[in-house]
Amino acid sequence: MDKHKGEKAYVLGKGPSLERFTKPDDGIVIGVNDVGNTIHTHYSVTTDGFKPGVLGNAEYARLTALPHRQGFAYDPDSEIWFLHCDDLNRDGGSALLSKAQVAHSRRLYTCSSSAQPAVHLAWYLGCSELRMYGIDGGTGYAPGMIEHPDQDYSRPDRFTFMLRDTIRLANHLFGNRWTREVIDV
């Protein structure tokens, strides 16, 4: 809690705008899913269980939702956080918890994407500003991420929902202190 108070947070997804990210001189980098395999991250977050290699190499912590999810093997080097699935339009659940309550429950917010617990983690760590790259909301990938595709979603609008939920959370936790780089595909 508040380990990076006042620092900028960079949350990196696998979308095309990740190509515009350059290593910052300041702040922390939180990778979503496979990003830590190609970019140095301080933290890595996934809701995809323990798919081999999904968390990459993170300097401080690799956080995931549940062990043995979808039959993936347990990864003893990852920290298990209970990513509480809810919707800010309804009760908000874990997104409304205080930092002390998050520390006690080890619950980070998620609704439809691994980007949401990454944004919630940035807030929990005390970051004062959020910048997102690779959270484009489409099905395209940045160069280097094509060989790490996400699940094949049956609904073509799935990434639109994920983006909407992520933006809603960024607004809730960071107000006007967040930006998102976008490349339309």
Q: State whether the Cα torsion 49-166-135-154 is positive or negative.
A: positive
Beta carbons within 8 Å of 116's beta carbon, 6+ residues apart? 108, 109, 110, 165, 166, 169
Residue 78, both tokens: 């990852």
Q: What is the pLDDT along the chain (185 residues), one digit of tens a residue?
A: 999 999 999 999 988 899 999 988 999 999 998 888 889 999 988 876 656 666 677 888 777 765 444 555 555 666 666 665 555 555 556 778 889 988 888 888 887 788 999 999 999 999 999 999 998 877 666 655 555 555 554 445 667 778 888 998 999 999 999 999 987 65
Q: What is the pLDDT of residue 154?
A: 46
Q: Domains of the chain: which residue ranges?
A: 8-80+111-180
Helix ranges (DSSP H) in the chain: 99-105, 115-124, 158-174
Phi, psi at residue 137, to the nearest 5°?
90, 10
Q: What is the pLDDT of residue 164?
A: 85
